[in-house]
Amino acid sequence: MQGTKKVSDSTVERLSLYLRLLGELHESGVATVSSRELARRGGTTAAQVRKDLSVFGTFGKRGLGYAVPELKERLRGILGLSRPWRVAVVGAGKIGSALLGYADFRRQGFLVEAVFDRDPEKVGRTREGLRISPDEALEEELGARGIDIVIVAVPAESAQEVVDRAVSAGVRGVLNFAPTKLDVPPGIALKNVNMAVELEGLSFALVHEADASARDGGENGGGDGVAT
């Protein structure tokens, strides 16, 4: 792969946003949408929408805009959603269990097919129709089931160990909810979700509110941080 061009994280994040908006438009029976309208609904700008899309090709018709169903399918393809992904959740505590029930995952093709916990009290019980497997079975089951992505919902202390074992079992993507920095080898994708960081970002915005409002005209105070 030579002609490989780097795509920024924020572009990918916005593609995800556009995909959601296109789904909504599709459901409402809208056939065509302009970059301006997508931008309005997504809280960004028309130029940004066009630039983001232009990274992957040309999808619109000048004078007309974008065909909703077509662009939606193209974006699904670009985001890797035209095939399902096998997901496992490690840690059946509060957060892990809450994620299991998150129906939106399945809707977008993320199939949660295994849950693990280290607590013998929990092992064998069922969560959302899935039997909780023991920690010791991690490598074997991840491998046997061909899991692509693990969601790490264990305490910070155990998170790195879980990731190392998952990677050794062939997992290629990690969504980390533990409040700690994880190291993964090259070629393994890692995303972090950290609620403390978000709350502290709000706290910062609140104590520095004066600065923010002195400055802005129409933008949402404090901006919208992460993962829109």
Cβ-based nearer residue to a second copy, 3 or 63: 3
User: Which stretch in 31-39, 114-122, 134-142, 168-176 sits in contact with a second copy by CB under 8 A?
Assistant: 168-176
Q: Binding to a second copy by residue 120, rule CB under 8 A?
A: no
CA dihedral angle for residue 96, residue 98, residue 99, residue 103, rounded to 10 degrees: 160
> In the complex, what is the shortest distance from the CB of residue 134 to a second copy, in angstroms, rounded to a whole number?
22
In the complex, minimum distance from the CB of residue 136 to a second copy, in angstroms, rounded to a whole number: 26
20 binds a second copy (CB under 8 A): yes
Q: Which is nearer to a second copy, 136 or 161 (CB)?
A: 161
Return the one option of DNA, a second copy, none that residue 194 interacts with (CB less than 5 to 8 A, by type).
a second copy
Which is nearer to DNA, 51 or 125 (by Cβ)? 51
Structure tokens at 177: 């909810």
Q: Dihedral through CA 166, CA 171, CA 172, CA 177, nearest 10?
A: -50
Q: Which of residues 174-193 bind a second copy (CB under 8 A)?
A: 174-176, 179-193
Distance CA 115, CA 10 (A): 30
Is residue 220 a contact residue for a second copy (CB under 8 A)?
yes
7 scored as a contact of a second copy (CB under 8 A): yes
Q: DSSP code of 12?
A: H
- Residue 184 phi, psi dihedral angles, 5° rounding: -130, 150
Cβ distance 99 to 89 under 8 Å?
yes
Q: How far is the CB of 91 from DNA (least distance, A)?
A: 30
**Whole-Å CA distances, 80 to 12, 39, 77:** 11, 23, 5
Would you give the end-to-end CA distance of the chain in angstroms? 31
What track of x and - describes contact with DNA for positions 52 through 71 (by CB under 7 A)?
-xx---xxxxxxxxx-----
Rounded to whole angstroms, the Cα distance separating 159 from 110 reads: 21
User: With contact defined as beta carbons under 8 Å apart, do 88 and 151 qualify?
Assistant: yes
Does 55 engage in binding with a second copy (CB under 8 A)? yes
Which residues lie near DNA (CB under 7 A)? Answer: 6, 8-11, 33-36, 44-48, 50-51, 53-54, 58-66, 225
